[in-house]
Structure 1
């Protein structure tokens, strides 16, 4: 799947959540809760990454667990990885390809981690 088609899927998953705004940040599409707190970034060969990927906010310890369990799919993204964010390769094919349920789950978890409790409870 090409980067544009992957972006469409990520955009749909993010914009389905309450009070989400999309705007570019650091040269890449990003999604913000109430226009302020970033919870997902779309990385299309961004910042030296050779892959099309999703960078997502994650609760403490989750990124390390995902990376340890599936290092071919998950990684520590530059700039935000030290804050617990996790990267997920979107350009994989076959059995490693991301399905829409998994995409929505990861995006929703990132949103819940960043959103105020009132918004998070609406999801």
Structure 2
């Protein structure tokens, strides 16, 4: 159910596709740039989560705000990507939608970002 909701959010964004990457579902902009990867107990982690691109400084801010929900994911954390746990008692899907949309903005071309109907500095 968590994967299905994450999938719905990701695929609602312009020109996104899904395919398995490194053994887990991942979402791409125009089939090329990954912006979200599902992480269900991968690499020995006991959590269901996702990893996503994040604006500069967002990873540090989110980790400081709530280290129980947010984490620095392996392999991509050093590039500022954010890990978000989805197995807590109450998942705030509105917040998840914002985080995923921000991830999309980080990697999508400006023409696609403009289709979101918001102005961005990216």
C-alpha RMSD of the superposition: 0.7
Paired residues for 1:17-96 under 5 Å: 17-93=13-89
Answering whether residue 108 of structure 2 is matched by residue 115 of structure 1, we say yes
**Matches of 2:54 and 2:12, distance apart in 1:** 19
Match for residue 99 of structure 1?
A: 92
Equivalents in 2 of 1:99, 1:68: separation in Å? 18
The TM-score with structure 2 as length reference comes to: 0.93
Per-residue Cα deviation, 1:66-123 (whole angstroms, up to 9, x for no partner) = 0011001000000110010000100000xxx222211111110000011001101111
Q: Deviations over 1:21-52 (max 9, x none)?
A: 00000010000000000000000001222100
TM-score (norm 1): 0.92
Counterpart secondary structure, 2:106: helix
Please list every run of 5 or more consecutive structure 1 residues that lacks an aligned counterpart in the other structure.
none
Structure 1 residue runs of 4+, over 6 Å off?
none
For the residues of structure 1 that align with 2:17 and 2:76, how far apart are their CA atoms? 20
